[in-house]
Structure 1
Amino acid sequence: MIRQRAVLALAAGFASTLLIAACDSANDVSSTSPGSTAPVAPASSEPAAPSPATSVTTGGGTSGSGDPAVATMLTARAMKGLGSVVTDDKGMTLYRYDKDESNPSKWTCSGACTKTWIPVIVQDVVRTSGVEKSLLGTVHRDGRPQLTLGGWPLYRYVGDTEAGQINGQGKDAQWYAVTPSGQKATPSG
């Protein structure tokens, strides 16, 4: 009887996984021309409910090894004291650097800087939820596309070890969490 219940539980779990994957793939539609934008998440101390995801194609269909490219998800997330900032598919806050340039997109963080501030490299499809899709782009970094938002190259901070942290905010008065419209996040009220 216990064996039968275990098998039924495994079967139910497998069926749930397939159903979730099928539902998720229905929202993953590539687009080579940016169009409408998803609504920005409201600024509050609680994570906002996800809005419908949209996606943008940033490059070729496969990585250099020939494997299918992995989609990157950008989400607007409300952070206490900062309002809405952009996080990646793991919930890690993304940052912009004041020494970089947005028009045209240029990166200046290199060498030892990239050990602390990790460039956000993308392979193909970037899905968004609450992020201004039309502002996404890339800049070439050593032959790889680094994601930009509002022209600003994006980075992850090595000091953020868990989802939702903003330990890089205001570092050296030059590093700031990026908002869904590409602006630097500033403390709110």
Structure 2
Amino acid sequence: MHRVPGATLAVLATVAAGSLAGCTSAGGPPGSGSAGGRVVIDAKRLPSLGTVLVDQHGKTLYMFLPDRKHAVTCTGRCLGTWPPVVVGQGGSPKAGSGGVRQGLLGTVPDGQGRSVASYAGWPLYTYAGDTAPGQTSGQALDDNGGPWYVMRVDGHPVIPSGSPSPGASSTS
């Protein structure tokens, strides 16, 4: 029988716990933010959706209608499915390529002491079901208490006709 040293077990347990919790590879909080607080928001043209926001890894970015702009309402188990784009302490999101407007970028608090990147006031999230850049399998899903929509570079969500819209349920 081969024994595994205790330190090796501790490292394996830490890696496994981080993977299960959805932590970044740098060991940070869940979300697509990078170590050091540098978060770049880019744009990409996708078939049938137009030019939409993506993170620095090419993952599609979404808004959550119940957030009603300026508030993160995806908490608890929701965060495992919809990781927010977390910005490091003191950091701010930067506009990348494709027409992303720096003036529409900002941050909002998530209620856990973290800052989440926002665009036109909407907190930004990725979707765990999108496993490769450019996927949009979270588009128009009604999940965790409301609909999720891909964000366009103009600051508006891509809302299919007949779906709930910010104007219909937003008070801001």
Task: Name the TM tier (shorter chain).
Answer: 0.5 to 0.7
Q: Which has the larger radius of gyration?
A: 1
CA deviation vs aligned residue, 1:58-85 (integer Å, no higher than 9, x gap): xxxxx9xxxx824222111101000010
Name the counterpart of 2:80.
115
CA contact (8 A) 1:69 1:125 kept: no
Q: Runs of 5+ in structure 2 lacking a partner? A: 1-27, 29-34, 162-172
The 3 A distance-change label for structure 1 pair 139 and 125 is: closer
Q: Distance in 1 between matches of 2:62 and 2:152?
A: 9
CA deviation vs aligned residue, 1:87-146 (integer Å, no higher than 9, x gap): 0010000000011121xx011111111110001101224332221210111111211111
Structure 1 residue corresponding to 2:100, chosen from 131, 139, 162: 131
Aligned length: 120
Name the counterpart of 1:181.
154
Higher strand share: 1
Q: Distance in 2 between matches of 1:98 and 1:70?
A: 26
Structure 1 residue corresponding to 2:49, chosen from 79, 82, 96: 82
Q: Could you state the TM-score of these two structures normalised by the residue count of structure 1?
A: 0.59
CA contact (8 A) 2:87 2:117 kept: yes
Q: Could you state the TM-score of these two structures normalised by the residue count of structure 2?
A: 0.65
Alignment of 1:37-186 (within 5 A): 69-102=36-69, 105-123=70-88, 124-128=91-95, 129=97, 130-141=99-110, 142-172=112-142, 174-186=147-159
* SS of corresponding position for 2:87: coil
CA contact (8 A) 1:76 1:180 kept: yes
Q: Distance in 2 between matches of 1:136 and 1:126?
A: 6
Q: Percent identity?
A: 40
**1:86 Cα deviation after fit:** 0.2
Runs of 4+ in 1 over 3 A off after TM superposition: none
Q: Distance in 2 between matches of 1:71 and 1:187?
A: 32
Q: Runs of 5+ in structure 1 lacking a partner? A: 1-62
**1:187 Cα deviation after fit:** 5.5
CA contact (8 A) 2:150 2:158 kept: yes
- Letter aligned with residue 178 of structure 1: M
The root-mean-square deviation of aligned C-alpha atoms, in Å, is 2.0
Q: Distance in 2 between matches of 1:178 and 1:115?
A: 20
